Structure formats: structure tokens, C-alpha cells
Amino acid sequence: MQLDVFTLFPQWFDWFRSQRHVANALALGHDLSCVNYRDTTPLSGGQVDDTPFGGGAGMVLRVDVVEAALRARYGVDPAELPSQRRVIALTPGGRMLDDALVDELAAERALTLLCGRYEGFDERIVEHFTSDAISIGRYVLAGGELAAMVVADTVLRKLPGALGHEDSAQEESFTAALDGAPEYPHYTRPADHRGWSVPEVLLSGHHERVRQWRLEQSRLRGEQQSLDGPAGDGA
Ligand code: 6GU
């Protein structure tokens, strides 16, 4: 997987790259590169954003700036890119990220993630240069960088070998193995702490009963989440 992140804050990703599952994925031959919009801006003084037409607060990332950055990186007209590769704008108005979308992205050979700042993107960037717009939840971040890290984190940990333990991403929260429900509770030693004891079934050594109990717990948690109300997709 080739992950390219376009951002004004490439140094934020230094920390991210050092996280173990990310480092594992990179050691396996995957790549995470950052491109700074500022390095190729056609504007003087390193300018990358501007005030919104029609007025209003904040600054908007300029379409000419993003075009120059994409053109420099890929050597083609960025308007042709969406038909060649997955180019994703991180924006609160985008498609909500969930496990199914992560699986879809993890199957790609390459992903381009565009981070907006301030009030976000000039809409022409999203319209002409991207194949997708993705949001990570119904709240507003100061910029797309944290969302890009969430996307990169969730995608990279799905790649074979990234987690060290091959089953880890198979039967976990929101996967088909659990019918899309959250994961069941886990316990480890001590079996009793201050009288808080581990459910008996987990100590029984009875694999089929353990399996049934876990499925039931997962299902109950899914029900509880539905009662808690919509977490973005209205489910
Ligand atoms: Cl992708 N970007 C920003 N700025 N805020 C968000 C988001 C993305 N997803 C949820 N909130």
C-alpha cells in the first residue's frame, strides 16, 4: 500500500509513523509519505489559503495550490487522477468512515489523503480532484490531519502482518464475524480483583460455551449502542 498524505503539517506524522503497527506495516514494504502543500504553492510567501468568497470566518485551502501539489507529485493533470487512483478529501461533510469502508480502502494499492485546514477546501478541489470525501464523525476537527491518521491507522492495521498476530483483525468490533456488532468484553489475570471476578464461563475451558457467550455479549453491546442513538450514520 502506498499512502500519500497531503498536509500543511507533515511533522505531525513523524509520531504516527513510529507507532508499532504503523512501523510494522512500513517494514513490510508499505509506504506512508507526506507532501506539504506549501512546498509547491504557486503563490508568493508560501500562501496556501484565502478568504471565502461571500464572506464569513476562516480561511479556505486554494484549488490552484492543491492542483500544483498533486501535479508535482503525480506528473499528470490532477483532474485525471480520480479515474486512476483513490484520492480522498478528509472533510466533516464526507462519507462516514466505518469498518466496511476501511476494508474497501485496505484493498486499494494506493491511497491519496488530502487534509484541509481552517474552514476546509475550496469545493472545486473535492469536485474535480478527488474520488471520495470521508468524515470520521459528526464533530469538527481543526483540520483533516487527525482524520487522515485515523484512516491510515484503521487501514494499515488491516494489512497482513501489521498486527503481529494474524487473527487480531478478524474477529473484532464491527467485523462480519461479529455481525457488525462491537467486540465482546475481555478479561485477563487476576481472575479475582477486589471481589470483581471474571465470568465463570471464560475459566471453564469450554470453547463452544465461550464462543456462544462472546457472541451474545457482542450482540448485547450492539443493542445498547443502538439505544444510545445514532453515531453519525443514523443506524
Ligand atoms: Cl475528515 N475533517 C475535519 N476537519 N473535521 C472532521 C472530520 C474531518 N471528520 C469529522 N470531523
CB neighbourhood size of 125 (10 A): 25
The burial class, CB within 10 Å (0-12 / 13-18 / 19+), for 62 is buried
Domain boundary among 98, 126, 156: 156
Going by alpha carbons, the residue nearest to atom 7 of ligand 1 is 92
> Going by C-beta distance under 8 Å and a sequence separation of 6 or more, which residues neighbour residue 25?
1, 156, 157, 159, 161, 162
Residues 119 and 208 in one domain: no
Residues 151 and 185 in one domain: no
Distance between Cα 149 and ligand 1 center (Å): 11
Residue 167 falls within a domain, yes or no? no
Residue 187 falls within a domain, yes or no? yes
Residues 101 and 10 in one domain: yes
Residue of 125, 126, 132, 141 to test ligand 1 pocket, by largest number of atoms within 8 Å of CB: 141
Residues 8 and 112 in one domain: yes
Ligand 1 site residues (CB inside 6 A) read 90-92, 134-137, 139-141, 143-144, 147
Distance between Cα 136 and ligand 1 center (Å): 6
Residues 7 and 118 in one domain: yes
* Tens place of pLDDT per residue across the chain (235 aa): 999 999 999 999 999 999 999 999 999 999 999 999 999 999 999 999 999 999 999 899 999 999 999 999 999 999 999 999 999 999 999 999 999 999 999 999 999 999 997 679 999 999 999 999 999 999 999 999 999 999 999 999 999 888 877 666 777 888 888 898 999 999 999 999 999 999 999 999 999 999 999 999 999 999 999 999 876 444 4
* Residue 33 near residue 4 (C-beta atoms within 8 A): yes
Distance between Cα 48 and ligand 1 center (Å): 19
Residues 35 and 121 in one domain: yes
Residues 223 and 145 in one domain: no
Residues 123 and 152 in one domain: yes
Distance between Cα 152 and ligand 1 center (Å): 14
According to the model, what pLDDT value does residue 167 have? Answer: 62
CATH number at residue 9: 3.40.1280.10
> Going by C-beta distance under 8 Å and a sequence separation of 6 or more, which residues neighbour residue 5?
13, 32, 33, 34, 35, 113, 115, 148, 152
Nearest atom within ligand 1 for CA of residue 120: 4
Name the domain count of the chain.
Answer: 2
Predicted model pTM: 0.92
> Going by C-beta distance under 8 Å and a sequence separation of 6 or more, which residues neighbour residue 75?
none
Identify the domain containing residue 116 by its residue range: 2-156
Residues 94 and 191 in one domain: no
Residues 207 and 131 in one domain: no
The burial class, CB within 10 Å (0-12 / 13-18 / 19+), for 11 is exposed
> Going by C-beta distance under 8 Å and a sequence separation of 6 or more, which residues neighbour residue 16?
22, 32, 149, 152, 153
